[in-house]
Amino acid sequence: MPRRELRCLRQRTGTTLAYGESVSDFSPAAGLAPWQRTAAGAGLLAADGSIAPTIFAEMSALAMRTGAINLGQGFPDEDGPAEVLEAARQAIADGVNQYPPGPGMPVLREAIAAHQRRWYGIELDAASEVLVTAGATEALAATLLAFVDTGDEVVTFEPYYDAYAAIIARAGGVHRTVPLHWTREPRAGEPGAGSSAGWRPDHDELRAAVTDRTRVILVNSPHNPTGAVLDTETLALIVELADRHDALIVTDEVYEHLVFGAAHTPIATLPGARERTISISSGGKTFSTTGWKVGWITAPAPLVTAVLAVKQYLTYVNGAPFQPAIATGLGLPDAFFTDAAATLAAKRDLLAAGLETAGFALSLPRAGYFVIADAAPLGFADGAELCRALPGLAGVVGVPVTAFVHPDRQGDYASLVRFAFCKRHEVLEEASARLARLSAG
């Protein structure tokens, strides 16, 4: 339990610290209404006060309008396991259609606790250390609203899942980011071939970002949009810094079962982490049920109580018949989970090959739904512009990585585009064939 929670009284140091050059912070301008702050946090508030749609809404609408293949938003185009779908139908037929208990149905809380024990050796009291939420999104919102006060800093890596910035801004927090640096994969035969490539934070930059003003270190591993999996040294450094500065760790692990190599390591399993960590996950990605919005947090009981105090006045509860269905999913044999990751890895490879043939430079993701492709080798310096033109050029939709960074950072990511590969083989094959037009043209 963080010392601050025990004291129930926090003191700010007010010290001015030097930050590494790459570390940046962002809080929307003073004087904005709370809803404007939320939109501004996500970079959606225009100078004239209008609010732009999210890039996902814009690109999905573009795909609908043009008939382009939508590799923008991350949702699978195939149903998840039949047992899970059937369990939801059965629950509806059995009359599980009214408000479930506030913290979630016991059957699901027990299944979440059993899942944490089975995969990670984490022992939880299902009654007090597990809370069911309306997706990981509500878990994130309720957690940040529960703990982040005006002026508190929240540290995340950058690029980041866009909801983080919006929620931090709504809570009145300051969003401090640490860049993930992309080390390019050398081509076969080039010097350095076979060395470890991918997206990684610089540890000194991470150290510089976390201070006594940090209320929360918000970790997302496996990571959206880069597909990075943080290594154990980085996770251990986060725990060390959280302890030194008495910060909470909030960890978003929605891609925990979609890892293409070594098994996922929850940060809560590291020495010294558990007492100050709120772990968040959801059934959406694992069971291809993103529309069901069944998520959860697991944490020490006092932290769960604090989040519940907020959560119960956000949605109160959700998805009664889907809760036992996700419980069924969590109880599926190991083979389901390993097969799901292997199937997705094959899809990653298929789209990656298509993108490389088309002329993009790639960072091969180690997990998740997405691959980041650099359009610069194709002569496109502006990924957002390319994404708007891509339906016309190649009949495919992606999203620019600039949607996942703060406005002052967009230049660093300008030519990068995120494509989702959680789609059927034939769709990815067709998308690859269409993208090949870019290099042909």
Ligand X SMILES: Cc1ncc(COP(=O)(O)O)c(C=O)c1O
Please choose, from the candidates 394, 195, 369, 406, the residue with its C-alpha nearest in 3D space to the C-alpha of residue 290: 369
Residue 18, number of CB atoms within 10 A of its CB: 7
CA-to-CA distance for 193 and 339, rounded, in angstroms?
29
Ranked by CB distance to ligand X, the top (closest) residue is 135
Residue 295 within binding range of ligand X, rule CB under 6 A: yes
Please choose, from the candidates 374, 216, 383, 275, the residue with its C-alpha nearest in 3D space to the C-alpha of residue 1: 275
Residue 72 within binding range of ligand X, rule CB under 6 A: no
Among 2, 28, 80, 135, binds ligand X (CB under 6 A): 135
**Candidate ranges 12-20, 23-31, 131-139, 378-386; the one touching ligand X (CB under 6 A):** 131-139
Sequence length of the chain is 441
Q: Which is nearer to ligand X, 290 or 410 (CB)?
A: 290
Q: How near is the Cβ of 226 to ligand X at its closest, in Å?
A: 11
Residue 365 within binding range of ligand X, rule CB under 6 A: no
CA-to-CA distance for 382 and 415, rounded, in angstroms?
5
Among 72, 74, 76, 321, binds ligand X (CB under 6 A): 74
Look up residue 178 and give its two tokens: 């640490």
CA-to-CA distance for 218 and 167, rounded, in angstroms?
12
Q: Which is nearer to ligand X, 158 or 185 (CB)?
A: 158
Residue 76 within binding range of ligand X, rule CB under 6 A: no
Q: How near is the Cβ of 367 to ligand X at its closest, in Å?
A: 11
3-state helix, strand, coil split of the chain in percent (to 5) is 45, 15, 40
Among 178, 254, 387, 397, binds ligand X (CB under 6 A): 254
Q: Which is nearer to ligand X, 200 or 245 (CB)?
A: 200
Q: How near is the Cβ of 218 to ligand X at its closest, in Å?
A: 10
Residue 282 within binding range of ligand X, rule CB under 6 A: yes
**Candidate ranges 4-12, 24-32, 238-246, 288-296; the one touching ligand X (CB under 6 A):** 288-296
Strands of 9-75, DSSP E: 24-26, 69-70
Residue 284 within binding range of ligand X, rule CB under 6 A: yes
Q: How near is the Cβ of 440 to ligand X at its closest, in Å?
A: 33
**Candidate ranges 115-123, 130-138, 191-199, 297-305; the one touching ligand X (CB under 6 A):** 130-138
Question: Using CB under 6 A as the criterion, what x/- string covers residues 156-195 for binding ligand X?
Answer: -----x----------------------------------
Cα dihedral value 326, 346, 368, 157, nearest 10: 170
Among 70, 137, 211, 214, binds ligand X (CB under 6 A): 137
Cα dihedral value 284, 286, 288, 293, nearest 10: -10
Residue 288 within binding range of ligand X, rule CB under 6 A: no
CA-to-CA distance for 322 and 108, rounded, in angstroms?
10
- Can you say how many angstroms the Cα of residue 425 is from the centroid of all Cα atoms in its chain? 24
DSSP state of 101: P
Q: How near is the Cβ of 74 to ligand X at its closest, in Å?
A: 5
Near ligand X in 296-335, by CB under 6 A: none
Q: Which is nearer to ligand X, 129 or 252 (CB)?
A: 252
Q: At what angle do helices 322-330 and 106-120 cross, to 10 degrees?
A: 20
Q: Which is nearer to ligand X, 161 or 199 (CB)?
A: 161
User: In angstroms, what CA-CA distances link 15 with 18, 154, 206?
Assistant: 10, 17, 18
> Residues touching ligand X: how many (CB under 6 A)?
14
Please choose, from the candidates 161, 150, 269, 273, the residue with its C-alpha nearest in 3D space to the C-alpha of residue 215: 150
Residue 249 contacts residue 273 (beta carbons within 8 Å): yes
Residues lying near ligand X in the complex (CB under 6 A): 74, 135-137, 161, 220, 224, 252, 254, 282, 284, 290, 293, 295
